[in-house]
């Protein structure tokens, strides 16, 4: 059951399209304090609180304070409170589980037992919001209801389930060709190469640098023939430059965000001084979206939207102010306080939240200061793109994922988990975020495999891929200045080929589970607690995941570990995929086991009376043969084991066509 409660008058987010009637009574379970703009709930001693989508820390969010405040912050540390997304959904898993969604576009604070161990306190920056309270049979059911409320998740083209290689940046055609050639020569499958900001002409959106990519359309064609999709980045900030059509058109039509006095708001990002298209204005969105045509026309079929929190290096006004103040320090003998103030003048320029109070949106006739609707900006940008694709290329699916997001954006694109580091702890964070993102509708997601910042090691790359082969978005990406991490940079090529090859063998299964989750509003990845209620041990497992209805994952995430402890809530079949192509099947009893996992093995668990389907090895998604699938079963009493897989052409949009569902049945030996 879903109940909707109104407080003040919310600025519409369109997270929920079909709203149930508002309730007159009180919000159940919570204490509502309008004066303090607060909702409080007393948690049971052992109640688990899930949700909040993309954020730091555990699957169980208890014991920390979080914020919904889309932030460009590459330090994903335990003491942070927010990352790039604002996903205001919580699920309380206690005696009577419930879900709560706070639909509110400004900053929200979720104190989940931080101030007081047993108190959940949600505080809004102002009192204009809508709250959805959801009860149901169990956690999974509550999530399904919530997902039904917010609408179907974005579905990418099938090729987007292939392996993607990215780097900030491959600088020119030859560097891209080299990436493709090396993968092909070594027999490592690959479906996409990502282009980061340097493909553009001086970081201008919807331009291509003619020196490094002299004939972009022809190059796309060449790559398509090699089975590769190029995926360029699009930034939120539009360069201020006379003669640049995106800038000139935007100015002429008044489509950029403005300051209080009506002049355009200028902030510096990659291209230097830049303007932000008003992503909250429907005409500006349509206009910005149409610009993607420039790249679609040249054969591009996928994009990633970056810097759309929006990220700001500095604003003209704050920079001028800082420079004036810095002058006063000249020749001064600075004491401690003065030195810190001096330093902060410069460090405080970047992503200063005060800047969000300096510009306005025209929300189709209503002028709104940015900070009140901050969390909608990336959503608006990705919506601009998604709606444009539906208009411009209605016949096919286009790959789209974004950095910033709000619930509602999940209908237009996926997200990647942002600028993580080549740290073992971030491999685990990648795992922990999968279910919370799924709860909030983000199914097409994954982290930068191998880590974005910092230097990766070969063992970390291998271990991370052993998780990454299961995430819908499987992309190896790293920052400028870090150690190269294309898999051919390392020694254990056979192991990498095996891991990535296995991903392709799993695609019929992964794609089917993805489609089922998208079409029925289910979660593809779940904490163990969801499927094994009442199992106190399962409830606390934070380093294993359920995938679909069939699999359990338990990857290694510690360096120099030759294996790990795995908890099995029930008897399952352990599948060990070895580098020599063999699959060892062992039945393991319920309970804890220490499992040896060499760097080149992938070990997963198949649940009782379930089936896993596997394709043959290929070099790109197009070649996968969905008709001849190998089956592995974990027979446990059932006479027949069934699996329904999803098969379509991978680019059309007739998702619901029942012919796409194909059932495989296997009789078990008695
Ligand atoms: O300020 O485009 O998260 O994936 O490589 C950094 C350069 C801007 C941040 C993205 C990252 C991308 C990088 N971008």
pLDDT range class, residue 670, cuts 50, 70, 90? low
The best mutation among 168, 204, 485 to test binding of ligand 1, ranked by most ligand atoms within 8 Å of the C-beta, falls on 168
Please say if the pLDDT value at position 606 is more than 90: yes
Q: Which of 178-192, 339-353, 493-507, 525-539 has the lowest average pLDDT?
A: 339-353
> Which residue carries 């609180």 as its tokens?
49
Q: Is residue 46 part of a domain?
A: yes
| Per-residue pLDDT reduced to its tens digit, 59-84 | 999 999 999 999 999 999 999 999 99
- The rounded percent of the chain whose pLDDT value lies above 70 is 100
If DSSP codes are grouped into helix, strand and coil, which group holds residue 657?
coil
Average pLDDT of the segment spanning 630-642? 97
Pocket of ligand 1 contains residue 269 by CB under 6 Å: no
Domain count, the chain: 2
The best mutation among 197, 272, 419, 446 to test binding of ligand 1, ranked by most ligand atoms within 8 Å of the C-beta, falls on 419
Please say if the pLDDT value at position 434 is more than 90: yes
Pocket of ligand 1 contains residue 167 by CB under 6 Å: no
Between the CA of 619 and the centroid of ligand 1 the distance, in Å, is 28
Please say if the pLDDT value at position 669 is more than 90: no
Q: Is residue 55 part of a domain?
A: yes
Which residues are within 8 A (CB) of 31 and not within 5 positions of it... i.e. 6 or more apart? 39, 40, 41
Interatomic CA distance for residues 202 and 478, integer angstroms? 21
> Which residue carries 């027999």 as its tokens?
187
Q: Which of 68-77, 131-140, 319-328, 353-362 has the lowest average pLDDT?
A: 319-328
- The rounded percent of the chain whose pLDDT value lies above 90 is 98
Please say if the pLDDT value at position 579 is more than 70: yes
Span between the terminal Cα atoms of the chain, in Å? 44
Pocket of ligand 1 contains residue 506 by CB under 6 Å: no
Between the CA of 336 and the centroid of ligand 1 the distance, in Å, is 34
Q: What rounded mean pLDDT belongs to the chain?
A: 97
Phi-psi region of 299 (alpha: psi -120 to 50; beta: other; left: phi over 0): left
Interatomic CA distance for residues 113 and 518, integer angstroms? 32
Of the candidates 325, 349, 373, which is a domain's last residue?
A: 349
Q: What is the dihedral of CA 368, 369, 372, 376, to 10 degrees?
A: 70
pLDDT score recorded for residue 465? 98
DSSP string spanning 211-265? TTSTTHHHHHHHHHHTT-EEEEEEESPEE--TT-HHHHHHHHHT-B-B-TTSSBP
**65: domain CATH number?**
2.60.40.1760
Between the CA of 306 and the centroid of ligand 1 the distance, in Å, is 7
The best mutation among 232, 306, 308 to test binding of ligand 1, ranked by most ligand atoms within 8 Å of the C-beta, falls on 306
pLDDT score recorded for residue 356? 97
Average pLDDT of the segment spanning 528-543? 97
Please say if the pLDDT value at position 628 is more than 90: yes
Q: Is residue 98 part of a domain?
A: yes
Ligand 1: atom nearest CA of 169 is 5
Q: Are 6 and 132 in contact (CB under 8 A)?
A: no
Q: Which residues are marked as active site? A: 306, 309, 419
pLDDT score recorded for residue 270? 87
How is residue 314 written in tokens? 């500095």
Q: Is residue 127 part of a domain?
A: yes
Model pTM score:
0.98
Pocket of ligand 1 contains residue 235 by CB under 6 Å: no
Q: Is residue 184 part of a domain?
A: no
Of the candidates 120, 150, 180, which is a domain's last residue?
A: 150
| Per-residue pLDDT reduced to its tens digit, 310-339 | 999 999 889 999 999 999 998 889 999 999
Of the candidates 134, 150, 166, which is a domain's last residue?
A: 150
Domain containing 334: what range?
314-349
Pocket of ligand 1 contains residue 168 by CB under 6 Å: yes
Q: Is residue 104 part of a domain?
A: yes
Q: Which residues pair with 602 in a beta bridge?
A: 577
Ligand 1: atom nearest CA of 448 is 4
From 622, 507, 617, select the one nearest 225 (Cα to Cα).
622
Q: Is residue 657 part of a domain?
A: no
How is residue 303 written in tokens? 């994009």
Pocket of ligand 1 contains residue 418 by CB under 6 Å: yes
Burial of residue 5 (number of CB atoms within 10 Å: 0-12, 13-18, 19+): buried
Pocket of ligand 1 contains residue 197 by CB under 6 Å: yes
Residue located nearest, by CA, to atom 12 of ligand 1? 168
Q: Is residue 608 part of a domain?
A: no
């Amino acid at each position: 059951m879903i109940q909707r409660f109104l407080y003040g008058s919310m600025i519409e987010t369109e997270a929920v399209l079909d709203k149930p009637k508002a309730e007159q009574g009180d919000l159940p379970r919570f204490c509502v304090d309008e004066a303090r703009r607060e909702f409080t709930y007393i948690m049971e001693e052992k109640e688990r609180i899930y949700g909040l989508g993309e954020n730091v820390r555990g699957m169980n969010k208890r014991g920390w304070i979080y914020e919904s405040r889309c932030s460009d912050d590459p330090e994903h540390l335990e003491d942070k409170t927010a990352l790039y997304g604002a996903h205001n959904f919580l699920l309380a898993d206690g005696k009577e589980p419930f879900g709560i969604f706070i639909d509110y576009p400004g900053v929200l604070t979720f104190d989940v037992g931080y101030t007081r161990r047993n108190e959940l306190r949600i505080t809004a920056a102002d009192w204009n919001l809508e709250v959805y309270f959801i009860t149901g049979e169990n956690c999974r059911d509550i999530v399904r209801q919530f997902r039904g409320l917010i609408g179907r998740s974005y579905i990418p083209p099938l090729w987007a389930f292939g392996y993607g290689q990215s780097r900030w940046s491959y600088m020119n055609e030859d560097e891209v060709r080299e990436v493709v050639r090396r993968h092909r020569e070594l027999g490592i499958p690959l479906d996409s190469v990502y282009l980061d900001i340097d493909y553009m002409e001086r970081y201008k959106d919807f331009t291509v640098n003619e020196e490094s990519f002299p004939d972009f359309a022809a190059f796309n064609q060449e790559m398509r023939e090699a089975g590769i999709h190029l995926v360029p980045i699009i930034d939120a900030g539009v360069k201020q430059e006379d003669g640049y059509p995106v800038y000139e058109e935007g100015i002429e039509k008044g489509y950029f965000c403005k300051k209080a006095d009506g002049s355009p708001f200028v902030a510096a990002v990659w291209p230097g001084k830049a303007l932000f298209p008003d992503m909250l204005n429907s005409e500006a969105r349509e206009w910005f979206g149409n610009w993607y045509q420039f790249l679609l026309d040249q054969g591009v079929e996928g994009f990633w939207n970056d810097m759309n929190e929006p990220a700001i290096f500095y604003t003209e006004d704050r920079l001028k102010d800082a420079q004036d103040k810095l002058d006063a320090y000249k020749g001064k003998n600075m004491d401690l306080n003065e030195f810190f103030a001096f330093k902060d003048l410069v460090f405080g320029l970047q992503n200063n939240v005060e800047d969000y109070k300096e510009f306005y949106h025209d929300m189709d006739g209503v002028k709104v200061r940015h900070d009140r609707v901050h969390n909608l900006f990336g959503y608006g940008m990705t919506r601009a793109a998604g709606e444009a694709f539906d208009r411009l290329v209605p016949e096919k699916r286009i790959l789209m994922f974004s950095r910033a997001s709000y619930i509602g954006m999940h209908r237009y694109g996926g997200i990647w988990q942002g600028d993580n580091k080549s740290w073992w702890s971030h491999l685990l964070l990648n795992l922990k975020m999968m279910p919370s993102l799924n709860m909030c509708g983000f199914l097409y997601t994954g982290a930068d495999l191998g880590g974005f910042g910092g230097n990766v090691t070969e063992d970390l790359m291998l271990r991370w891929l052993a998780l990454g082969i299961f995430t819908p978005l499987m992309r190896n990406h790293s920052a400028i200045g870090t150690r190269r991490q294309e898999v051919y940079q390392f020694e254990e090529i056979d192991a990498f080929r095996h891991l990535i090859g296995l991903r392709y063998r799993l695609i019929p299964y992964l794609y089917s589970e993805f489609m089922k989750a998208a079409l029925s509003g289910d979660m593809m990845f779940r904490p163990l607690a969801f499927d094994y209620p009442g199992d106190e041990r399962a409830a606390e497992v934070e380093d294993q995941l359920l995938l679909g209805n069939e699999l359990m994952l338990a990857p290694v995430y510690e360096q120099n570990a030759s294996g790990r402890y795995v908890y099995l809530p029930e008897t399952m079949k352990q599948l060990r995929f070895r580098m020599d192509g063999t699959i060892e099947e062992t039945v393991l009893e319920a309970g804890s086991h220490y499992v040896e996992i060499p760097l080149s093995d992938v070990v997963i668990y198949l649940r009782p009376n379930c089936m896993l389907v596997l394709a043959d090895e290929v070099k790109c998604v197009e070649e996968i043969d969905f008709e001849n699938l190998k089956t592995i079963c974990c027979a446990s009493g059932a006479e027949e084991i069934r699996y329904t897989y999803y098969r379509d052409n991978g680019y059309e949009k007739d998702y619901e066509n029942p012919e796409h569902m194909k059932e495989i049945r296997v009789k078990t030996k008695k």
